[in-house]
Amino acid sequence: MKGAILYFSLTGNTRLACEYIKNTVTGIEFELINIRDTKPDLRAFPFIGFATFASEFKVARFVKNYIEDMESCQKPAFVFTTYGRNNGAATKILADMVTAKGFRVVLDHALNTPENYPPVIRREHGHIENPTHSQMLKFNRFITELSGIAKKIADGVEVPERKVKAAIHYVMLSQTFTAQMMQKGMGDKKVDTDLCLCCGKCEKTCPYGLVTIKDLPVFNESECCGCFACYNHCPVQAIYTDNYRQFAHYPKPIPQLVEKLTIKNAPQKENEL
C-alpha cells in the first residue's frame, strides 16, 4: 500500500524524522512530499501523514495556509510534529486543521529534537541531547503502531479516530503569540556588506517570499514572522539583527541527530511487529 507524508521543514529536522519513519515503517510505502514544492493529488494515497515543526506553540503560518487551501478529503491520517524546547499545542492544532478538511486523524506523535531557534538557544541551550534514549523508544513505538494501522487500512479495517489533546495553557499561549511578536523578538534584519555574496539563498529559503535580492537582500519586515530561516541558512552568516549576530546558526540537522535517526539505529522490523 502507498501513502504520503506531507511535510514542512526549514532546517531539516522534520524532514529527517520523516525519512526515518519512511525507512522503518512496515506495511506501507510512504512518499515524502514537501508542501513548499507542490500540491499533490492525494487520490492515489489511502493513508496521509502531516508533519511539521512547532512554532509559537502552534504550527507555522505556511502550514495553516496550505491546509486551509486544500480540497476536503475523507481519508485516514496521522499528524506528527517536531519541537525543540516546547511542542505547545502544535500537534493538537495540526490535528484540528486536518480534521476540519475531512481527514480522520487516527494517530499522533511529537518528537523532541535539537533546538534550531536562536532566541531559545540564547535563553537556555541547544537541547542537543534530544531525542533521548527514552524519546527514541517512544518514537519507535509510534512507528510500530503506525505499521499496524497501515495494515488495518490495507485490509479494509476501519481504524477509530483519535482525539488529540493539549494542555489548556498551551492552547491559550498559541492564541497569544503572534508573528509580530516573533519578528520583534528577532529584530529588523540587516546585511553585512563585507560578507554578503548576493547568492539568493535567503530569498529561496523564506517560505513567505518576503526576501528579495536587489543590490543586497531586502526584507519585508511588516510581514515577517521571525522564523530565522534566512538567518539560519545564510552560508556566510551575513544576515544579522541588533539582537543576533554570528550566533547559533542551524542550517541543517546536527550530526548527533543524524546519527540517531539513521536506519541502522532503528529496531529490527520483524522484532517490532
With a cut of 90, say whether residue 270 has pLDDT above it: no
Position 38 scores a pLDDT of: 87
Determine, yes or no, domain membership for 139. yes
With a cut of 90, say whether residue 14 has pLDDT above it: yes
Statement to judge: residues 92 and 50 lie in one domain? yes
Position 231 scores a pLDDT of: 97
Nearest to 146 by CA among 111, 195, 114, 185: 111
Domain count of the fold of the chain: 2
Determine, yes or no, domain membership for 246. no
DSSP secondary structure of the chain: -EEEEEE--SSSHHHHHHHHHHHH--S-EEEEEETTT----GGG-SEEEEEEEEETTEE-HHHHHHHHTSPP---EEEEEEEESS--TTHHHHHHHHHHHTT-EEEEEEEEE-----HHHHHHS---TT-S-HHHHHHHHHHHHHHHHHHHHHHTTPPPPP------HHHHHHHHH--HHHHHHHH---EE-TTT----SHHHHH-TT--EEESSSEEE-TTT-----HHHHH-TT--EE-SS-SS----SS--HHHHHHTSGGGSPPHHHH-
Position 272 scores a pLDDT of: 41
Statement to judge: residues 113 and 45 lie in one domain? yes
Determine, yes or no, domain membership for 270. no
Statement to judge: residues 80 and 163 lie in one domain? yes
With a cut of 60, say whether residue 248 has pLDDT above it: yes
Determine, yes or no, domain membership for 89. yes
Determine, yes or no, domain membership for 128. yes
Position 126 scores a pLDDT of: 76
Statement to judge: residues 117 and 148 lie in one domain? yes
In this predicted model, which residue has the larger pLDDT, 164 or 85? Answer: 164
Statement to judge: residues 124 and 82 lie in one domain? yes
Indicate the residue type of 184.
K
> In whole angstroms, what is the distance from residue 204 CA to residue 269 CA?
38
The average confidence (pLDDT) of the chain is 94
Nearest to 167 by CA among 91, 63, 99: 91
Can you tell me the mean pLDDT for 210-214?
A: 95
Question: What digits encode the pLDDT tens for the residues 22-64?
Answer: 999 999 999 999 999 988 999 999 999 999 999 989 999 999 9
- Residue 267 confidence class, pLDDT cut points 50, 70, 90: low
Please state, for a pLDDT cut of 70, what percent of the chain lies above it: 96
Position 247 scores a pLDDT of: 95
Question: 133 is in which domain, residue-wise?
Answer: 2-172+254-265
Least confident of 18-22, 54-58, 119-123, 152-156: 119-123
pTM equals 0.94
Statement to judge: residues 200 and 106 lie in one domain? no
> In whole angstroms, what is the distance from residue 29 CA to residue 31 CA?
7
Statement to judge: residues 157 and 194 lie in one domain? no
Statement to judge: residues 159 and 203 lie in one domain? no
Determine, yes or no, domain membership for 78. yes
